[in-house]
Structure 1
Amino acid sequence: MSPHPPVFSAIRQELYDWRLWTGRGIVLAFAAVAGLTVVAFTWMTDHAMAYFFTFEKNVWWGPLLWTPTSTAAIVWLTRRYAPGAAGSGIPQVMAALTPEVPKTSRNLFVSLRLTVAKMLLASWGLLAGLSLGREGPSVQIAAGVMNHARRWLPSRSQVSENGLLVAGGAAGIAAAFNTPLGGVMFAIEELSRKPEQRSNGLVVAAIVLGGLMAVSIYGNATYFGVIRIQHLSTALLLPGLLVAVCSGVAGGLFARLMVVSLAGRSVDWFSRLRQKAPIRFAAACGLAVAILGVVSHGDIYGSGYGYSRAMLEGNGESSPLYVLLKFVATWITAWSGVPGGLFAPALAIGGALGNDIAHLTAYANAPTLIALGMAGFLAAVTQAPLTAFIIVMEMVDGHALVLSLMASALVASGVSRLISAPLYTALAELQLQRLPATPPDTKKEPRRAPSS
């Protein structure tokens, strides 16, 4: 019988294995850097949107020239120098986590170079007034920072590259929304789809630490403030169910439209133009967004954060056409090929849908249906219901709505699955098409010496 119980052996191994503790320290240090990088990106995008809205307010027709010109320039730069930065960023991280992707090809999807490009180009997109969000790009940005940590890890550190990518991507969501729990759930539900990619304690710690970087800078404030929830009753049942079903249908149609458009397999004139003349197509998309912005009096520009917050606070008048116009503007923006995410616009669309149903059904507490619409539409687009309801719960401090938010997200996600395949999974498969073609087997039979 061993004189040392197993517990003491485990403690000795933990304390004396310097590689283990060095690896942990490096992972946590890079998690903090990833969180601070997302904080810097948040600062850039906030100022970009502020400059655009100041410009649009003073020169209402200015976006008709500035937005299409900027969109064409962004797409040209993206295609020329950083093709891996196009789109949301979440599909790129999911593609990098695919076991079939060789390690030498992961820099096509995540790298420090793509991190810098994503920050600059997505900020320019918001400066141009395009309908996009910064949360999806934050996933790729933080994953690129965390992926760089592998160069500094000692051998046998027991930290996998997949773990670094999962931690970075989820820390990006946590820091962007100031929702650490949402980041953890995003890692489990969206990024860790295979058992070998499941998060361990170190990965979860890295996610939370990355999210806490935003808290340390901006304080423990919720993204949309605090909504006042009145006493819930059965009066919420019918309007809440209507919001969930409508969000599921609208989100499913949006996801299907995105997959079909970005796949580029359609035979319509627009898809052919996008393939043959992507820069001209991008300029046309930018002009379409600018026209929608003029029609909506500037409401559809940007991420939709200001509009959503005003709805929740009961300030200002909401347009009955906002859902349709924001839906189309967000789709056109993504179709143009610029770097940008869908989370914030999806929250704005879902919130406006809930607000419209509150007016239609004369439900007294509109913020409740707005929150349910946010969770429902986001869950329908991403088909990640647990992530959606936790993110919305943390963003509006809606702990009194936990069960209602969960039910709305689950119903909407279920309806969406009847209409569309999971959006990010389908887009990740499109990303895998960028992998270099596998060279054919060129092995030949050894040449035999000629017989004498």
Structure 2
Amino acid sequence: MQQEPDFFHNLNQEMRDGRRWLERTVVLAYAAVAGLSVVAFTLLADAAFGFFERLYHWHGGWLVLLWMPALTAAAVWVTRRWAPGAGGSGIPQVIATLEPSVDTGLRRRFVSLWLSFAKIVLGSVGFAAGLSIGREGPSVQVAAGVMHSARHWLGPKSAINSHALLVAGGAAGIAAAFNAPLAGVVFAIEELSRKLESRSSGLIIAAIVLAGLMGVSVFGNLSYFGRIRVSQLGWHDLLPCLAVALSCGVLGGLFAKLMTLSLTSSTERLNRLKSRFPIRFAALLALLIAVIGLVTGGATFGAGSEAVKHMLQGEADVPEFYVTLKFIATWLSAWAGVPGGIFAPSLSIGAGVGNNVAQLAGVSDIAPALIAMGMAAFLAAVTQAPLTAFIIVMEMVDGHSLVLSLMASAMIASMVSRMIARPLYESLAQHMLHVARASLPKEPEAEAAVLQTKAAAPESPGEQADPDSAGRPR
């Protein structure tokens, strides 16, 4: 028969283990620093985009045709030269570090204090350039780099390993960026770790919540998009709701597929051009983004949060083809290689889908609900993480009355997306690991064995030596 726990004995054992309490204190202290780092990134990114908006509204906005390519090219050059691991979203980098086969040396290519600092600075430069990027994905890498550095203060026999710190840091980034601790916890389980180790799960959750509280302490306990008020959804609203979920599922799946092909394929002609002239390629993409922004009256610049707020308030002042053009601008921004995420732009694209369906169906009374469902559905389709998507949107709009609707739309969209594309972040993480391992110096013995094998291989009948290629066969 199982013995009942002895409270006083267990309390005495807990209090006697001073080393464990010291480690817990260290982890929670770093969680607070991680949350404050994300807060600093948020303030800097907002200030940078505010500067871009003032520049855009100065003399008709045509200056952005020069400003955006120049600043984007500079950001890509600095990223490639001094912080290559900081490029892109940041979530694939953290997922890559969680692979069991990744050692300490390889892990430092994806998360470190230096990369966290570079991500904050270069991500803010991307906002100053007016690119269609978000700060939530980069916040995951920023917080993970800060949290992982806590490992230096923990003993070799500590129950808190690198895996736990990286999961806690990545989820803390989501919690602090969205001001949504619950979303951070779900993100840790669904997207990063797939499970939490029982011996450290309580501490990980506490660290995530503490990091989220750093954002609350600065920005207040307010929903990002305010509190939406919608009439009760009925069965007669089923068709518009289903149209939003299915449309976002298809568009999100196509977006994920396009992103995967653009960022991982090395055989396409454009990607070969990007590899050969990365700075000029980024400048050209930025010029295209600038043209799109001018055509839309500036609606596609930045993360798109203001456009979402206007749609939720019934001020549908976005262009008719906002969804398509924001889709293209976000894809081109990610392809350019500047540090920046896709969470916030995905929310704005999904909101645009919901707004379009509401206008076509003539159901303005439930338009805010359809917009919120579109946000959850498109984000779920892109990330294929439906639980995280619907909880993020629920906390951002204070939409507890829409829990079932948001969950259903996210689940349907994610299911449709899985029929079209592979998981985006996992595909990018595997590609990054492949590239990083290929760039590692080979062992002398292994390299000699490869050369010996090539020398011993018989020449095929159709092969001829090419004197202009250093003896390599054509």
Report the TM-score when normalising by structure 1: 0.94
Q: Can you give the 5+ residue segments of structure 2 that lack an aligned partner in the other structure?
A: 449-474
Show CA shifts across 1:249-268 (max 9, x none).
Answer: 00000000000000133433
Give the aligned partner of residue 342 of structure 1.
342
Instruction: State how many pairs are aligned.
Output: 441
Contact 2:31 2:207 in 1 (8 A): yes
SS of match in other structure, 1:29: helix
Residues of 2 paired with 1:101 and 1:237: CA distance? 47
What root-mean-square deviation, in Å, do the aligned CA atoms of Structure 1 and Structure 2 show?
Answer: 1.8
Give the aligned partner of residue 68 of structure 2.
67
SS of match in other structure, 2:226: coil
Give the aligned partner of residue 353 of structure 1.
353
Give the aligned partner of residue 299 of structure 2.
299
**How far apart are residue 54 of structure 1 and its match?**
1.0
Give the aligned partner of residue 51 of structure 2.
51
Query: What does residue range 217-366 of structure 1 map to in structure 2 within 5 Å?
Result: 217-268=218-269, 270-364=270-364, 365-366=366-367
Q: Can you give the 5+ residue segments of structure 1 that lack an aligned partner in the other structure?
A: 445-452
Show CA shifts across 1:54-82 (max 9, x none).
Answer: 11011310110000111111110000000
SS of match in other structure, 1:442: helix
Give the aligned partner of residue 406 of structure 1.
407
Query: What does residue range 38-437 of structure 1 map to in structure 2 within 5 Å?
Result: 38-59=38-59, 60-193=61-194, 200-268=201-269, 270-364=270-364, 365-433=366-434, 434-435=436-437, 436-437=439-440
Residues of 1 paired with 2:368 and 2:413: CA distance? 18
**How far apart are residue 196 of structure 1 and its match?**
5.8
Residues of 1 paired with 2:199 and 2:146: CA distance? 20
Residues of 2 paired with 1:342 and 1:90: CA distance? 10
Show CA shifts across 1:76-96 (max 9, x none).
Answer: 000000000000000000001
Show CA shifts across 1:107-136 (max 9, x none).
Answer: 100000000100000000000000000000
SS of match in other structure, 2:107: helix
Residues of 1 paired with 2:371 and 2:199: CA distance? 33
Query: Structure 1: which amino acid aligns with 2:168?
Result: A
Query: Structure 1: which amino acid aligns with 2:71?
Result: S
Residues of 2 paired with 1:54 and 1:325: CA distance? 22
Give the aligned partner of residue 447 of structure 1.
none
Query: What does residue range 16-27 of structure 1 map to in structure 2 within 5 Å?
Result: 16-27=16-27
Residues of 2 paired with 1:42 and 1:5: CA distance? 46
SS of match in other structure, 2:68: helix
**How far apart are residue 373 of structure 1 and its match?**
0.2
Show CA shifts across 1:305-348 (max 9, x none).
Answer: 11111111122523220000000000000001110000000000
Residues of 2 paired with 1:242 and 1:11: CA distance? 56
Query: Structure 2: which amino acid aligns with 1:85?
Result: A
Residues of 1 paired with 2:36 and 2:315: CA distance? 32
Show CA shifts across 1:388-441 (max 9, x none).
Answer: 000000000000000000000000000000000000000100110213547458
Residues of 2 paired with 1:36 and 1:400: CA distance? 31
How much identity, in percent, do the aligned residues show? 56
Residues of 2 paired with 1:37 and 1:342: CA distance? 20
Query: Structure 1: which amino acid aligns with 2:21?
Result: W
Contact 2:159 2:199 in 1 (8 A): no
SS of match in other structure, 2:352: helix
Query: Structure 2: which amino acid aligns with 1:431?
Result: M
Query: Structure 1: which amino acid aligns with 2:26?
Result: I
Report the TM-score when normalising by structure 2: 0.90
Residues of 1 paired with 2:321 and 2:409: CA distance? 23
Show CA shifts across 1:369-403 (max 9, x none).
Answer: 00000000000000000000000000000000000
Instruction: Between 195-204 and 85-94, report the one with greater CA deviation.
Output: 195-204
Residues of 1 paired with 2:85 and 2:178: CA distance? 23
**How far apart are residue 209 of structure 1 and its match?**
0.5
Contact 1:192 1:198 in 2 (8 A): no
SS of match in other structure, 1:420: coil
Residues of 1 paired with 2:144 and 2:348: CA distance? 26
**How far apart are residue 191 of structure 1 and its match?**
0.3
Contact 1:192 1:199 in 2 (8 A): no
SS of match in other structure, 1:250: helix
Show CA shifts across 1:211-267 (max 9, x none).
Answer: 111001110011111111212211221101100000000000000000000013343
Show CA shifts across 1:187-207 (max 9, x none).
Answer: 000001367699611001100
Contact 2:299 2:318 in 1 (8 A): no
Residues of 2 paired with 1:342 and 1:263: CA distance? 17
Contact 1:180 1:208 in 2 (8 A): yes
Contact 2:94 2:111 in 1 (8 A): yes
Q: 1:442 aligns with which of 445, 448, 452?
A: 445
